[in-house]
Amino acid sequence: MATEPSLHQRRRPPNQRELDAIPWLNTLEGKVQERAINDMAVTEANTGDFVCRIGKPVTYWFGLIEGLLKMSSDNAQGQTMTFTGVPPGGWFGEGTVLKREPYRYNIQALRKSVVAGIPIHTFDWLLDNSIGFNRFVMLQLNERLGQFIAAREIDRMSNPDIRVARSLSALFNPVLYPGVGDVLRITQQELAYLVGLSRQRVNEALTTLSDQGSIKVEYGGLRVMDIDALRTRNF
C-alpha cells in the first residue's frame, strides 16, 4: 500500500487568495515582501494531521489560512492538555523559532486545513530587514503571553459556562486571529475538544451565553455579540 505524502511533501506555492489572508504581509514592502512570498509554502492538512509534534525540530514559522487547529500537550499520565485553538489568520510558534528549540507542544488539525509556513532562515532575514515585521512579531509575543496566562486560569475554572465563555473570547482575539472577525466557524464538537468538556455540556453553555446575549449561534458557527461579557462575566 502506498504511503500518503507528508505535509512537507504536499507543499506548494500560495495562490493570491491565500496571500491576501496573511495579515503581516501588508507590513512588508518591495523586495522584502517579494522575498517572503517567494519563500513561502502552503500545504493542506487533513483532520488529525500533526503540523508540529513535541520533540521535533523547528523548520518553519506557521500560520493558518483555512480550517481549525488545536495546540496541546500530553502529561506523564498520558492525559492531553489543550492550550488553545488556532482559527484562521493565526500565526504561531515564533518563540520556538527564535530559540531554535524542539517543539514543546503538538499542533493538530481538527478539520481539513490550509497551513502556510516560511522557513526559519527567512523568518530571521525578515527580522533583520523589516521594522514592520519586527513590530508584528513583538505584538504577537506580547499577546501570546497574555493568552497563555488566561489559558492557565481557564484550566483551573470549575464552572463550565465560564470555561466556554473565556475559551471563546480567546478565539475571537483580533490581534492573534484577525481572520476570524465577528463569526467563528466552529462546530460544538470542535469547541468541546478545545475546552475539554463534553459536547452536551458545551451545548448547554452555548445556550446560556446565547440567552444572555453574549453570542448568537448561527449555522456552522458562532457570532460574538458582546466580547467583553465573554471575557469578564461570571455565571
Rounded to an integer, the average pLDDT of 99-112 is: 94
| pLDDT at position 150 | 67
- The cell for 82 is 489543550
Angle in degrees, 0-180, between the axes of helices 30-39 and 120-129, rounded to the nearest 10: 170
Rounded Cα distance between 211 and 163, Å, is 17
Looking at domain 158-232, which of 3.40.50.1360, 1.10.260.40, 3.40.50.300, 1.10.10.10 is its CATH number?
1.10.10.10
Residue 12 and residue 127: Cα distance in Å, rounded? 24
CATH node for 16-152: 2.60.120.10
Question: pLDDT digits over 149-168, tens only?
Answer: 666 666 666 688 888 998 88
**Alpha-carbon distances, residue 166 vs 61, 109, 173 (angstroms):** 27, 22, 11
pTM of the full predicted structure? 0.86
Nine-digit cell at 52? Answer: 508540529
Q: What is the pLDDT of residues 5-29, one digit of tens each?
A: 888 889 999 999 999 999 899 999 9
The grid coordinates listed for 177 are 486571529
From-to residues of CATH 2.60.120.10 in the chain: 16-152
Q: Which residue has the higher pLDDT, 118 or 221?
A: 118
The Cβ of residue 139 has, within 10 Å, a number of other Cβ atoms equal to 13
Q: How far apart are CA 169 and CA 167, in angstroms?
A: 5
Q: Are 109 and 46 in contact (CB under 8 A)?
A: yes
Residue 117 neighbours by CB distance under 10 Å:
24
pLDDT tens column, 16-65: 999 999 989 999 999 999 999 999 999 999 999 999 999 999 999 999 99
Query: Exposed (0-12), middle (13-18) or buried (19+): which is 29, by Cβ within 10 Å?
Result: exposed
- Looking at the chain, the domain(s) classified CATH 1.10.10.10 span 158-232
For 168-216, write each residue's pLDDT tens digit. 888 888 888 888 888 899 999 999 988 888 999 999 999 999 999 999 9
The residues, any chain, with a CB within 8 Å of residue 230's CB and separated by 6 or more, are: 165, 166, 168, 169, 172, 209, 214, 215, 224
* pLDDT for 50: 95
Q: Is the alpha carbon torsion for 8, 12, 15, 19 positive or negative?
A: positive
Tell me, letter by letter, the H, E, C secondary structure of 12-62. Answer: ECCCHHHHHCCHHHHHCCHHHHHHHHHHCEEEEECCCCEEECCCCCCCEEE
